[in-house]
Structure 1
């Protein structure tokens, strides 16, 4: 019963941006939308306008970015393997709106208490300085607040679900891990991250601490280069840490950077019914 209820909630959340590839009455402009399926143990089939878009959509899967015409879409979601000719959809949603100009990642995940929820994150695609890369961390796991460390230093302290934190750093290689807030033992990682110049690397912590299935997912957005000006040659995060003040104190602001209110109201179905 619990799994059925989770299916009804989570599959709808996962399906919203995926259904946007179906034909629709498009307004001027396009949106860029990706979706991360971060609800453990739920696999679904996604349909739009009666056509199967994504079969066997499994947890931990991140879609490629979709360039979508602005407009509204109808969709259906079925439990994996159900036949639409004979089965009732787990959920049906009409009037899914795609706003022009958006760049967002919609994450179906667990909240801190383990309930399936939808969080649309607005992706920062503003230009980075020459020689810089953007690192974003998003807490989408059923877990208490965490500290995110890079090269052994606390980078983002006390990050809670579903918050995010972000900063621009010198392009290079970094070793990142996650601990429960105020503790030293890593619960995720370490993970080696190669942050290329002019990219945004987005790291998602997802899964459930209680169930013991915490995991990481990584999304990369490129094309953020600014005009070249004094690009440092061969500089890495490790090298930057060798010279005086910590890199993180100089380069990053570690506050939560949620700007999701507008995206949440525009990227979810206008009406969903079971």
Structure 2
């Protein structure tokens, strides 16, 4: 069983790896032509540890709780001084981690601090697929970031993704609508998480994260939904993103509107550290 001490060590080890430079190869796949900014979201998926995240001496993410997805950050390309403190120990204390983060231009990615299948700390970057979705369809993406063995993901009792291992993802287009989703141990009917209702709206990419620890019996789901991906003929225009879940599943919805990224970025307390120019 993973102890609290192990979880604390895991969390600090994960944030020590917080470097977008390591994510650059995959993020480059979705660079937008002419864009000098990137959109970065951070998911805290290490149970048992609360932290404060600072950027260049300014508090960026206070009281960052496990299971929390940060607001999307619209960041200019360049270098950022990131400091991680145990909750309440910054900014005058000694940071547990201090990293210079290189942010590449034109990508949308989610950094996930989590546990590996055997409970060790890890950080993985996932590029969010914002390509168009066929009319009448929704994109479902599942990311396995839990301390758990391989799983199957079912929708309305039917396996849609099989043998998914940590830290991999699987995705596909499905008919838009509400489905009852659960996660079972691969090749069995043993439910590990859920069931929970998912609202897979037309023209969206709903990303579902399976996180936590099977040994500690705190497995949970987290969702991140992207809208505005309609193909012609368009469906309903994008408004607030929708992700619904049953309370007893441990799933917490995250409302993310691509049309609001600029407004959200304007209120994020980040001071950009400009890269040296020759």
TM-score interval, smaller chain: 0.7 to 0.9
Task: Show the 5 A alignment for 1:1-274.
Answer: 2-13=6-17, 29-85=36-92, 87-94=93-100, 96-228=101-233
Distance 2:228 2:170 in 1: 21
- Runs of at least 4 residues off by over 2 Å: 1-8, 10-17
Q: TM-score when scaled to structure 1?
A: 0.76
> C-alpha displacement at 1:14, in angstroms?
6.1
What RMSD in Å do the two structures reach over aligned CA positions? 2.1
The 1:2/1:177 distance shift into structure 2, 3 A limit, reads closer
Q: TM-score when scaled to structure 2?
A: 0.75
Distance 2:124 2:113 in 1: 7
5+ residue gaps, structure 1, are: 18-26, 232-274
5+ residue gaps, structure 2, are: 22-33, 236-278
Distance 1:134 1:111 in 2: 25
Distance 1:196 1:14 in 2: 32
The 1:48/1:164 distance shift into structure 2, 3 A limit, reads same
> C-alpha displacement at 1:65, in angstroms?
1.8
Larger radius of gyration: 1
Cα pair 1:7 1:79 within 8 Å, conserved = no
Cα pair 2:19 2:102 within 8 Å, conserved = no
